[in-house]
Chain A
Amino acid sequence: MSEAAADLRKTALHALHVELGARMVPFAGYDMPVQYPAGILTEHNHTRAKAGLFDVSHMGQARLWGVGADKAIEALVPGNIVGLAPTRIRYTVFTNDKGGILDDLTIGRAADHLSIVVNAACKEADYEHMRRGLPKSMRLEILEDRALLALQGPAAEAVMARFAPDAAKLTFMAFAGMKVAGLDCTVFRSGYTGEDGYEISVANKDAESFARKLLKEPEVMPIGLGARDSLRLEAGLCLYGHDLDTTTTPAEGDLGWTIAKRRREEGGGFPGDKIVLKQLADGPPRIRVGIKPDGRAPAREGTVVLAAQGPNAGKEIGKITSGGFGPTANGPVAMGYVTKGNNAVGTPLGLVVRGTTLGAKVASLPFVPHRYKKA
């Protein structure tokens, strides 16, 4: 992607990133920190050991207002939003009429609206998709004036409790509006690292001073997109545009768990429902799996996956969609798609890396156990 620096958008923390010595790169139309001087390995390990602060303000924050918004948005997603309890957040996807994934997102139920967070690269399209697909009685409010900070890691709760004692009471995938360091924030107990932690929505005008307060805490260090990617990959979490896109269905993406029982029993009622429900019943033609290379060489996105046994040995059966080095896993880790029948954990695979076929195996996800605060 060639994005002229002048055209890139800046988050409310841009000046702080530069001041902290971040290496800035274009990402989803924003000028974002890929790493700070500590480097990706240190940032990754620090997040797993203590707490990392991420700027995720590029993501789209919105609210959906209107009577029956929960029922209405079910026309666009396969999740059970009607059954979502107050203060709870759910991970779901927008599908197209072929069952392909337009974006992955979270929906939370507040007292009088739904709280929606979507990916940066898709946000304008998502907003348009909702405006078109929802009744005119629904009002989509885009929170352009708010930043989103993620504080992730085992020390996140202790750090947050110093600024907002009520934050400790939230469990994984719950959220609430609360004062944090005296500021009006929405605090989500969620994240993209596999660790316990928070995502905090704060007004743009307060974002930098708030980030500085968090960074003054001894456990907290700033973390860039590089470590964010290695952390989420080890956690087995999908990156939209890589592991999921319009050519992959929720069944293929191994996201069957996001398709609620009630929605299945009702025959779907979301775009592409017939295709997706049939795939869930019969098994999809290909499915996303974890892939663990046998050696030390990372296999990157786009790497061709070969069958390593049986009558199809040596034949292409899939591709890696995310691959790299997992610092906590202490070795290469990857995710990708393989055809039906090749997805059992332990199935030997071949990976074509620079013309050489390297051994690998289907691995269970996540590579590093999740440490969410479930109760």
Chain B
Amino acid sequence: MAERRFTKDHEWIELNGAIATVGITNYAQEQLGDVVFVDLPPAGKKITKGGEAAVVESVKAASEVYSPVTGEVVESNADLAKNPALANTAAEAGGWFVKIKVADPKELSALMDAAAYKKFVDGLH
């Protein structure tokens, strides 16, 4: 089981070989409220660490999903595009956003692990 890492912008990332899966955290989906639309990047799109990877829209507002790493999109979640509510009901599982071919796996080690992220979120209240 690959280890998950987390960003301060509330994305999660999990690396399997050279491919990382990226989504938004449960905390993020709670803050967003009901997700009604996601704008996902096409396969082949180059994205940079901290750059916009996708857009998630709740009833209220649009928010960016930032890429935790630099790389190239290999797949977007077609199920999520069809059923954006997956971002709420399965944020850290079936509601993933993109799979990215990671340029430099070492970028992940700078991110928070689960315990550090939990502490970070607890500090936001």
Contacts and interface: CB of A to CB of B under 8 A. Distances in A.
Interface stretch (B53-61, B93-101, B103-111): B53-61
Contact of A40 (B33, B37, B39, B62): B33
Q: How large is the interface on B (under 10, 10 to 19, 20 to 34, 35 or more residues)?
A: 10 to 19
Contact of A39 (B33, B39, B55): B33
Interface in B55-74: 55, 57-62
B59 A324 contact: yes
Contacts of B61: 300
Interface in B72-107: none
Interface string A266-298: 000000000000000000000000000000111
Given A297-B39, A354-B39, A354-B55, A41 B60 contact: no
A296 B80 CA distance: 13
- Interface SS of A by simple majority: mixed
B11 to A, nearest CB: 18
- Interface SS of B by simple majority: strand
Contacts of A120: none
B60 A40 contact: yes
A325 interface: yes
A31 B56 CA distance: 26
Contacts of B113: none
B36 interface: yes
A73 to B, nearest CB: 36
Q: How large is the interface on A (under 10, 10 to 19, 20 to 34, 35 or more residues)?
A: 20 to 34
B37 A34 contact: no
B14 interface: no
A169 to B, nearest CB: 35
Contacts of B60: 34, 40, 226, 229, 324
Interface in A317-338: 324-325, 327, 332
A42 B58 CA distance: 13
Contacts of B57: 297-298, 325
Interface string B18-54: 0000000000000001101101000000000000000
A300 B58 CA distance: 11
A367 to B, nearest CB: 14
A324 B60 CA distance: 7
Contacts of A34: 60
Given A226-B59, A300-B62, A35 B33 contact: yes
A297 B57 CA distance: 8
Interface of B: 33-34, 36-37, 39, 55, 57-62
Given A297-B37, A297-B57, A354-B55, 15 more contacts: A34-B60, A40-B59, A41-B59, A44-B59, A229-B60, A230-B59, A296-B37, A297-B39, A298-B57, A300-B62, A324-B59, A324-B60, A325-B36, A327-B36, A332-B37
21 contacts: A39-B34, A40-B33, A40-B34, A40-B58, A40-B59, A40-B60, A42-B34, A44-B59, A226-B59, A227-B59, A297-B57, A298-B36, A298-B62, A300-B61, A300-B62, A324-B60, A325-B36, A325-B57, A325-B59, A327-B36, A327-B59
